Amino acid sequence: MAVSVGSEPTAHEDHHHEQSFWSKYVFSTDHKVIAMQYMATGVVMGLIAGFFAYAFRMQLAFPGMDVPGFGIVTPADYVSLVTNHGSIMVFWVAMPVLLAAYGNYLIPLMCGCDDMVFPKINRLSYQVFLLSAIVLVASFFVPGGGFGGAWTAYPPLSAKAEYNLTPLGSSLWVLAVALEFVAFLLGGINFITTAMNSRAPGMKMYDIPVVIWMLLIASILFMLSVGPLIAAAIMLLFDQNLGTAFYDPNRGGDPVLWQHLFWFFGHPEVYVVLLPTIGLTADIISVFSRKKLFAYRTILYTAFGTGILSFFVWAHHQFISGIDPRMAHIFTVTTLLISIPIAEMMFVYIATLYGGSIRFTTPMLWALAFIGEFLIGGVTGIFLGASGADIYLHDTYFVLAHFHYTFFPITIIGFYGGITYWFPKMFGKMMNETLGKIHFWGTIIPFNFIFIPLFFLGMAGQHRRIYNFEHFPELATPGLQNIRVFATTALLIMLSFQLVFFYNFITSLRKGKKAGKNPWKANTLEWTTESPPPHGNWPPSELPSVYRPPYEYSHPDREEDYWPQNVPN
Amino acid sequence: MGTPGGVPVQRNARILSNGALAMLIFSFAEVMLFAGLVSAFTIAKANALVWPPPGQPRLPAFETAFNTLALLLSGFFLYRAQLEYWRSKEATSAPVVVLQRPAAAARTPFLISILLGAFFVLFQGTEWVALLREGLTIASSQQGGFFYLIIGMHAAHAIAALALLVYAYRQLTHGNLTESLFGASTVFWYFVVLVWPVLYWRVYL
């Protein structure tokens, strides 16, 4: 007999209708299809951004070289490549893959409802996102080429065509970013409303899996921080096209205003992409150490605390922009404070591992790698957060290496951890573990070989925005140049190992072992339905109810070492 | 999953309808958008040596005070409409108001609210025409840029919210206004109404 009332079906009456190809895969309102669309678009954009990284790293290691597949990298190409590499990785890879793809896929499934509460708004969200990606890609091909003012787009360089020489590229870049924000606003509203209003019967606040909480907190942070950047982007567009002077100091404007508005968004943005990965790491670690997640509530409170604190650290990006040194001290303090909650989460994960029966599956390796690699990113951040050290290190490769030690674990490791863990649910097949491990080591080892050398280059004073170091004799010594060649070689190795992943993905999709409903013996609700889940996730009469928190592994009173949320006793 | 022998589980209580909650979250993002614009304007104004910039007209603070009153009244009448709507909802306790008569009591204050809102937008429009004649354009000075940016942004929101209200009103007259749509349209209009006094204070005064 069915348990009381199931979740109210949200918006479809068409659960069991046959659908055409177009309505099923292209104009679908199904949250799972939209998640796949976001993920596919994110991966394609990631390949583009990876190719850009290849082109400009080749130029740095072998200046003036005819880069295979790209050609000669001119100075204008170089600035456009680094700008768009950064923009794409942050806005068109990290956000769509971590927040939109995993958010769309997991929130309804892990909350036990049939879809998002506003499926059509969800579809619109993806369509606007796709449009933003197209606008950005189009900006590479307009006269003057793509925007080259760095992904932070500081005026006056970004505001005036006489300075940046990309009259169309820079406007299209701002437009693409603005459209992308609209897409995520629509998506985030859906995420929060769904998780608040449509959870399975019995699922209390503290029964929500950590990954869902983190996606929600990330969405809330995004909602609260994006407004000022949209304001700034509109002002920049007006400055570029309508003759206003918001950022023009000659006419009473203030270029530093952009930096404040940008970083007011930019720093919470780090946590917008970090929190989903923190969340899925928690789920993966708990499942593969067969142990209850240590201090579930502490993680939540910590994440909320981090979220609030993240609104008070932005000016640590501006220590040398002429802000008052007393102000810089305040931001140094808040910046150092914010490392405490993140460190606490790392300790909580280690405490979860302690005494567990750990299984080194591919997703578990990614989750453990996230802890180790992100730690390096966090620790090097302390040097940059302290205003005294930052004055020396600002705009050097030290910043760049630190940044990549945070964003690579967040984006790339987070993506691979999530996809290897939920692949069986998404496609109903198991991935090949051997290939998965080859890909893991082939990515993690070269990654460290790319970026550890860059810390040394940064400490040696190598500035970030130099196109050809041969022009600077002090920086063109054989010692420094060899380090650049080393880092570029490691990048080539890492990029080539990604082929293993795509090969594994495609062969597993075609010939992988059938996964069954719950291959990892996990507790959360998505593992109680078919793999892949049907349209509507569960048959309407079988929507799950929830009886307990999500991490009851190895409970002493149970014969099996897991206790799904939907099992009454 | 329908589990045999399970203990019956209660559905989780909803504090707000889907539409109202979604629009509330959206409004928070919008509040931050206006906060960004207003703080940018405040900084620009504080950095200026003379304000308003030389050769630029003063903003019509007195006329706009009157218009502010109209907008606040519009919000008040919408609240009255909402009270009537809730009363009729309690009477029918259906997810959709099907009974014409009780819901009809919400119609008059709803219509007055929409008309006052439309008056506000039109009055703003006439003020813009006058200001443009006096030489205040978007590129003429910092004052012009920020004025048209901030007030124009508010006007765009007011027009979008009015369109939503008109749509909700039509649904009400046809007797099929859902709680979600009504919640969403009222929350959006309250946002437009309540953010305005702040803008008036920061921009006009």
Residue B103's pLDDT is 66
Whether residue A437 is predicted with pLDDT greater than 90 in this model: the reply is: yes
pLDDT in tens, A297-308: 999 999 999 999
The mean per-residue pLDDT over the stretch A130-159 comes to: 93
Distance between CA atoms of A366 and A259, rounded to whole angstroms? Answer: 35
A-interface mutation test, from B16, B17, B23, B25, most A Cβ less than 10 A away:
B25
Q: Which residues in B lie closer than 8 A to residue A568 (C-beta atoms)?
A: 3, 5-7
Among A28-37, A187-196, B1-10, name the one with the lowest average pLDDT: B1-10
On the question of pLDDT at A166 being above 50, the answer is yes
B5 belongs to a structural domain: no
pLDDT in tens, A105-131: 999 999 999 999 999 999 999 999 999
Does the pLDDT of residue A362 top 60, yes or no? yes
- Quick check: A188 and B146 CB within 8 A? no
User: What are the tens digits of pLDDT across the range A550-567?
Assistant: 999 999 989 899 999 999
- Judge whether residue A499 has pLDDT over 70: yes
Cα separation, A529 vs A425, whole angstroms? 9
Per-residue confidence (pLDDT) for residue B97, from 0 to 100: 47
- Distance, in Å, from the CA atom of A185 to the CA atom of A426, rounded to the nearest integer, reads 25
The pLDDT, as a whole number, for residue A181 is 93
Residue A282 confidence class, pLDDT cut points 50, 70, 90: very high
The answer to whether B143 faces chain A, any CB pair under 8 Å, is: no
Tell me: pLDDT of B1 over 70: no
Of the ranges A7-21, A501-515, B41-55, which is most confident? A501-515
Of the candidates A226, A542, A546, which has its C-beta nearest B29's C-beta? A226
Q: Mean pLDDT, to the nearest integer, of A458-462?
A: 92
Percent of chain A with pLDDT over 90: 86
What are the CB-based long-range contacts (under 8 Å, 24+) for A143-148?
A143/A168, A144/A168, A144/A169, A145/A76, A145/A77, A145/A80, A145/A169, A146/A80, A146/A83, A146/A84, A146/A173, A147/A80, A147/A83, A147/A84, A147/A172, A147/A173, A148/A76, A148/A79, A148/A80, A148/A82, A148/A83
Cβ-defined contact of A547 to B44 (cutoff 8 Å): no
In a domain, B183, yes or no: yes
> What's the ipTM?
0.89
Q: State residue A179's pLDDT score.
A: 94
Q: Does B4 touch chain A (CB under 8 A)?
A: yes
A7, A207, A230: best to mutate for the B interface, most B CBs within 10 A? A230
Q: How confident is the model at residue B104 (pLDDT cuts 50, 70, 90)?
A: confident
pLDDT (average), residues A86-111: 96
Please report, as a single letter, which amino acid is at residue A393. L
Mutate to test the interface with A, among B18, B151, B199 (most CBs of A within 10 A): B18
Contact B1 A7 (CB under 8 A): no
Mean pLDDT of B5-18: 70
pLDDT for res B94: 52
What is the reported pLDDT for A355? 92
CATH number of B42's domain: 1.20.120.80
Helix (H, G, I), strand (E, B) or coil at A353: helix
Question: Is pLDDT above 80 for B102?
Answer: no
- For A269-278, A371-380, B8-17, which range has the lowest pLDDT when averaged over its residues? B8-17
More confident residue, A177 or B1: A177
A13 falls in which pLDDT band (50, 70, 90)?
Answer: very low
Q: List the one residue out of A399, A340, A400, A411 whose CA is nearest residue A374.
A: A411
Q: Report the mean per-residue pLDDT for chain A.
A: 92
* Upstream peptide bond of B52 is cis (omega within 30 degrees of 0): yes
Per-residue pLDDT averaged across B100-105, rounded?
A: 62
| B6 occurs within a structural domain | no
Whether B160 has its CB under 8 Å from any CB of chain A: the answer is: no
CB within 8 Å: A254 and B44: yes
Tell me what the pLDDT averaged over chain B comes to.
87
Tokens 């290496």 -> residue: A401
Minimal C-alpha gap between B10 and chain A (Å): 6
Number of Cβ atoms within 10 Å of the Cβ of A323: 16
Beta bridge partners of A514: A429
Cβ pairs bridging A and B (under 8 Å): 150
Q: Which residue in chain A is spatially nearest to B51 when comparing CA positions?
A: A252
A35 touches A102 (CB < 8 A) = yes
Task: Report yes or no on B108 lying in a domain.
Answer: yes
Best of A189, A251, A311 to disrupt the B interface (most B CBs within 10 Å) is: A189
Q: B41 and B203 in contact (C-beta within 8 Å)?
A: yes
Q: Exposure of A103 by Cβ count < 10 A (0-12 exposed, 13-18 middle, 19+ buried)?
A: buried
Q: How does pLDDT run across A178-203, given as a tens digit for each residue?
A: 999 999 999 999 999 999 999 999 99
Query: What is the rounded CA–CA span in Å between residue A536 and residue A109?
Result: 10
Residue A319 has pLDDT above 70, yes or no: yes
CA pair distance B7, A7, nearest whole angstrom: 16
What is the predicted pLDDT for the residue at A25? 79
Q: Phi then psi for A553, rounded to 5 degrees?
A: -100, 150
Question: pLDDT band for position A373 (50/70/90)?
Answer: very high
Evaluate whether residue B131 is within a structural domain.
yes
Task: Indicate whether B47 belongs to any domain.
Answer: yes
Within 8 A of B40 by CB-CB distance, chain A residues are 231-232, 235, 246, 257, 261
Average pLDDT score over residue span B116-138 = 94
Question: Looking at residues A153-170, what average pLDDT do you find?
Answer: 91
Partner residue facing A542 (CB), from B2, B39, B139: B2
Whether residue A341 has pLDDT greater than 60: yes
- Residue-wise pLDDT for A238-254, tens only, equals 999 999 999 998 888 89
On the question of pLDDT at B146 being above 90, the answer is yes
Q: Tell me, what's the pLDDT at B152?
A: 95
Structure tokens that stand for A78 in this block: 């170089």
Q: What is the pLDDT of residue A9?
A: 42
CB A423 within 8 A of CB A392: no
Mean pLDDT computed over A519-533: 94
B87 is a domain residue: yes
Residues of A whose CB is below 8 A from B1: 528, 538, 542-545, 566
- The answer to whether B29 contacts A203, with C-beta atoms less than 8 Å apart, is no
Phi, psi of A472 (to 5 degrees): -125, 95
Range 33-72 of B in CB contact (< 8 A) with A: 33-37, 39-40, 43-44, 47-48, 53
The range of the structural domain enclosing residue B58 comes to 18-204
- B95–chain A Cβ distance below 8 A for any pair: no
**Distance, CA of A562 to CA of A171 (rounded, Å):** 54
Return the pLDDT at B91: 62
Are A414 and A370 a contacting pair, CB within 8 Å? yes
- Which helix H or strand E contains A242, and what residues bound it? none
CA distance A345 to chain B (A): 27
Mean pLDDT over A25-49 rounds to: 94
CB contact under 8 A, A238 and B145: yes
C-beta of residue A112 within 8 angstroms of C-beta of residue A544: yes
Percent with pLDDT over 70 in chain A:
97
Kindly tell me if the per-residue pLDDT of B21 is higher than 80: yes
Q: What percentage of chain B carries pLDDT values higher than 90?
A: 60
Query: A501 pLDDT exceeds 50?
Result: yes
